[in-house]
Structure 1
Amino acid sequence: MERDYCRRIGIFPAMHIVAVPREPATRADLMTSLYRAFCEAKEITQQKYRDGALKQHMGVVTPWFSKHFEENRALLGEDWWPYGLGANRSVLDTFLRFQHEQGLSEGLLTSEDIIVPALFDT
């Protein structure tokens, strides 16, 4: 069902969002460093999965994992956990629109309203 939704809508919902208190969020250097650290950790993990595909994911004790991995990779591409505003604008704006339509926010927010300005160009 999730793959079908992603194919039809073009959105793979964000699994995790990082929230930062206001004071540290004003430090562009800190936010940029934090973002880069998450990107590096993600790349290490994604490479581990790609390397595992070469060995039929023998280290993962889940039936048919390799088949599911390839199906997901075909649908989501090489960066199946995209980071940054550019890659997630559609997902975030859709989430914020749903939030507003469901009465969970007084006004309709945009991605720029919730992303640290130092990361607008990510």
Structure 2
Amino acid sequence: MEKASEITPALIEKLVHTFYGRIQKDSLLGPIFAREIRDWDEHLPKMVAFWSSITLKTRSYSGRPVPAHANLQGLTTAHFDHWLELFEKTAGDIFTEEPALEFIRRAHQIANSLKMAIDTQRGLLPGMDGALCA
């Protein structure tokens, strides 16, 4: 399969659907997402809009991702690391290096923001036992 050298709406949709297809089959992350996502047909277009807003500045996403994730129970650094690993592989499978790195950079920023929000929700500071952020 030839990798794409530019980010387009159709390729964002491909990235999102491929990534979350992998998530659903994953032994570590699949059960968490199965518990939280009731309707994938509703969730996937939101994620396409989210990534389109971030990478193409479409302003098509109007959700609030931090509150949606801050109350998730049982998340550990291992979950975030594995999420990033799957995302990096998916981006690298679809895009050439430059656009893949754009997605990967953004994914790391998002993961760090979510980890900080979850730590705050748990009343933890970076470096404390149980904190997701070092």
Q: Same fold (TM over 0.5)?
A: no
Q: TM-score, normalised by structure 2?
A: 0.28
- Which is helix-richer, 1 or 2? 2
Normalised by the length of structure 1, the TM-score is 0.30
Structure index of larger Rg? 1
